[in-house]
């Protein structure tokens, strides 16, 4: 592997004053004006960049220059690659460009809809669909006369019940250093404190409300994803999926 010289990497801050985040690019082989797109705010600026040809040839080996050329393969004429995934407004995401498979990109959007942008390194076009945050299922709390329970659904095993009396219950991955009220073993796809279920008793009956505490891994309510901080009222028969673990909310007879 050829060691990169200091001038192989071009580092600067985004010229958008509302962004200003640091950007690192491989220096192009030839000096010239290049369109550079910030991987965070996606604003494009044309910059006069000093290429490798502007440095002393003795300091740059042929193998290094070839490697740099490989980094700057122009993928602008390739078909647009649509990223599959769950992208929610106001959330930040990082991923590697699917064209050159080398440039790390950052993405965030305040508006829902289909977005298209280009990799600042290879100019390959990328698109994805951003959705609104999941709306609360009920505009008012659902009231039940009976108590409720979470039923852990197991394949080939007897289901396990977790009775929900009045109070607050956290649900998450088993971790001795940070125990949840309901801890699930053998599922690394669950956060240590993934959701909270609050049970309150009113003059009309019980109210059960689920709130997302950690959304690093998907939290599904009736197979619809919930984002960090979102809450839904639980109805008997609802399903809750955390990682590979699935619960059903049932009446506690």
* pLDDT digit string, tens, across residues 200-215: 998 888 999 999 998 7
118 close to 125: Cβ distance less than 8 angstroms: yes
d(CA 164, CA 56): 72
29 close to 49: Cβ distance less than 8 angstroms: no
Q: Which residues in 74-107 are b (16+ Cβ under 10 Å) and which e?
A: ebeeeeebeeeeebbeeeebeeebebbeebebeb
- Residue 90, both tokens: 């106001």
Q: Measuring CA to CA, which residue among 13, 14, 8, 47 is closest to residue 28?
A: 8
153 close to 109: Cβ distance less than 8 angstroms: no
Q: Measuring CA to CA, which residue among 63, 67, 59, 23 is closest to residue 42?
A: 23
pTM assigned to the model: 0.47
What is the full per-residue pLDDT of the chain (253 aa) written as tens digits?
Answer: 344 445 567 777 777 777 778 888 787 877 777 888 888 878 877 777 777 665 443 332 332 233 344 445 888 899 999 988 778 787 888 889 999 888 888 888 888 888 899 998 888 999 988 877 654 444 456 677 888 999 999 876 688 999 999 999 999 999 888 889 999 998 888 988 999 999 999 888 899 999 999 877 889 998 888 888 888 999 888 999 998 899 999 998 7
> Mind listing the pLDDT tens digit for each residue in 17-49?
777 788 887 878 777 778 888 888 788 777 777
How, if at all, do strands 113-118 and 104-107 pair? unpaired
């Amino acid at each position: 592997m050829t060691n990169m010289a200091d001038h192989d990497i071009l580092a600067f801050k985004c010229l958008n004053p509302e962004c200003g985040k640091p950007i690192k690019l491989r220096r192009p082989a030839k000096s010239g004006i290049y369109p550079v797109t910030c991987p965070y705010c996606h604003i494009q600026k044309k910059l006069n960049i000093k290429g490798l040809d502007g440095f002393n040839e003795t300091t740059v080996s042929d193998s290094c220059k070839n490697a740099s050329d490989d980094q700057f393969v122009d993928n602008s004429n390739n078909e647009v690659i649509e990223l599959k995934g769950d992208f929610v407004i106001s959330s930040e995401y990082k991923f590697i460009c699917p064209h050159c498979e080398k440039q790390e990109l950052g993405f965030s959007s305040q508006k829902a809809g289909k977005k298209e942008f280009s990799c600042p390194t290879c100019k390959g076009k990328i698109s994805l669909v951003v959705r609104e945050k999941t709306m609360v299922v009920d505009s008012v709390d659902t009231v039940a006369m009976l108590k409720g329970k979470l039923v852990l659904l197991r394949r080939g095993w007897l289901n396990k019940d977790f009775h929900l009396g009045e109070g607050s219950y956290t649900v998450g991955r088993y971790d001795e250093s940070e125990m949840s009220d309901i801890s699930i073993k053998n599922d690394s796809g669950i956060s240590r404190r993934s959701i909270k279920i609050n049970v309150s008793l009113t003059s009309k009956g019980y109210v059960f409300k689920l709130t997302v505490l950690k959304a690093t891994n998907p939290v599904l309510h009736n197979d619809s994803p919930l984002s960090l901080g979102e809450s839904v009222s639980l109805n008997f028969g609802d399903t809750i999926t955390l990682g590979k673990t699935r619960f059903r909310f049932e009446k506690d007879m």
